[in-house]
Amino acid sequence: KAVKEGMLEKRSDGLLQLWKKKRCILTEEGLLLIPPKHPPPPQQQQQPAPPAEPAAKIKELHFSNMKTVDCVERKGKYVYFTVVMAEGKEIDFRCAQEQGWNAAITLQMVQYKNRQAILAVRS
């Protein structure tokens, strides 16, 4: 179930570190990163989607593998933030300030971790 949907820009890992637009879907479990030309995840599509890019191109940043969301800075119209994964990998994002992606991701991650803690206590 999508909590928030929209566009985010992700800094590429390569030498040039270009900002690439990704269609993002925030769920209660994590963040899905979808290339902008990729068809949406199958819900109710009228026609079969053309074989664009393989499903491997959709990345899921699961909250179980996420450590923190660090708000790096607000510069111009953008908020720059970093998602730190459990294995130490850092993924840089930016979005328009009014979109509040960093806050939404942080909130969902905290709620996810709280649910996991409650389940651990119960078991």
Q: Per residue in 92-103, pLDDT tens?
A: 999 999 999 999
Residues 35-56 have a mean pLDDT of 58
Encode pLDDT of 22-41 as tens digits.
999 999 999 999 998 766 65
Q: Which residues contact 74 (CB under 8 A, 6 or more apart)?
A: 80, 97
pTM given for the model: 0.82
Give the residue with greater pLDDT, 44 vs 93: 93
61-89: per-residue pLDDT in tens? Answer: 999 999 999 988 999 999 999 999 999 99
For residue 77, what is the domain's CATH number? 2.30.29.30
Helix (H, G, I), strand (E, B) or coil at 119: helix
> What is the number of domains present in the chain?
1
| Cα R_g (the chain), whole angstroms | 16
Does residue 43 form part of some domain?
A: no
Whether 87 is in a domain gets the answer: yes
Q: Is residue 78 part of a domain?
A: yes
Residue 32 in domain: yes
Query: Which range of residues forms the domain containing residue 115?
Result: 1-37+55-120
Residue 27 falls inside a structural domain: yes
Both tokens assigned to 84: 């730190």
The answer to whether residues 80 and 91 touch, using CB atoms and an 8 Å cutoff, is: no
Strand extents, DSSP E, 16-119: 19-27, 30-34, 59-62, 66-75, 78-85, 90-96
In a domain, 49, yes or no: no
